[in-house]
Structure 1
Amino acid sequence: MPHFIMEYSANLEDDLDIPGLFEKLNETAIGTGVFPIGGIRTRAVRCDHFRIGEGDPDNTFVHLTAKVGSGREPEVLKAACDKIFETFTQCLQPTFDKRWMSIGFEMIELHPERNYRMNNIHKKLAEKK
């Protein structure tokens, strides 16, 4: 973890460099030292049906959710959130400067007893060392 899920309005399709944005988000998440590399997932969901504000078709949105495992100190998560949001907004700034845009970010800590995972990527990364 984290699992990054970015939802965005379809009218932003031509303005976003999603692979470049995801590369920077993953680098930032790794750079925090808080999250295991093998647990990071990043994906985008294009929203073809949306209405923003008063309904102006030129309005846009991007919302990033980070789902993280439980057990970290709140201060550690807050510091990671600050860095991730800074990277996210820096990447989106050129679009924000030319479009009507709402940018959001939320980190959600998953329940420790109702979150199931199976992942052998950690093993692969350990074997590479």
Structure 2
Amino acid sequence: MPHFIMEYSANLDDDLDIPALFEQLNNTAIATGVFPIGGIRTRAVRCEHYRIGEGDPENTFVHLTAKVGSGRDPEVLKAAADKVFATFTECLQLVFDKRYMSIGFEMTELHPVLNYKQNNIHQKLASR
């Protein structure tokens, strides 16, 4: 963990460099020292149907959710979230400066019992 899920309005297709944005988000998550590298997942969901504000078709949105495992101190998560949001907004700044845009970010902690996973990527990274 974290799993980063970015939803964005389809009218941003020509403005977003999603691979570069994801590289920066992953680098930031790694640099926090809070999250294991093998647990980081980053994906985008293009939203074809949306309505933003008063419905002006020039309005855009990008919302990032970070789902993280439970058990970390809230202050540690807050510090990591602050760094992720700073990177996220910095990467989007050029688009924000030229488009009407809503940028959102939420970090949520997954349920400690009802969260299931199986991952052998940690083993691969440990063997390096």
Q: TM-score category by the smaller chain?
A: over 0.9
Aligned-pair CA distance for 1:39: 0.1
Pairwise CA RMSD: 0.2
Aligned-pair CA distance for 1:52: 0.1
Deviations 1:33-70 (A, max 9, x none): 00000000000000000000000000000000000000
User: Residue 2 in 1 paired to residue 2 in 2?
Assistant: yes
Give me the TM-score of the superposition, normalised by structure 2: 1.00
Q: Percent identity?
A: 81
Gaps of 5+ in 2: none
Residue in 2 that maps onto 1:85: 85
Deviations 1:90-121 (A, max 9, x none): 00000000000000000000000000000000
Deviations 1:7-35 (A, max 9, x none): 00000000000000000000000000000
Say how many residue pairs are matched.
128
Give me the TM-score of the superposition, normalised by structure 1: 0.99
1:48, 1:111 → 2: CA distance?
A: 30
Residue in 1 that maps onto 2:101: 101
User: Residue 27 in 1 paired to residue 18 in 2?
Assistant: no
1:60, 1:39 → 2: CA distance?
A: 30
| One-letter amino acid of the counterpart of residue 97, structure 1 | D
2:78, 2:113 → 1: CA distance?
A: 23
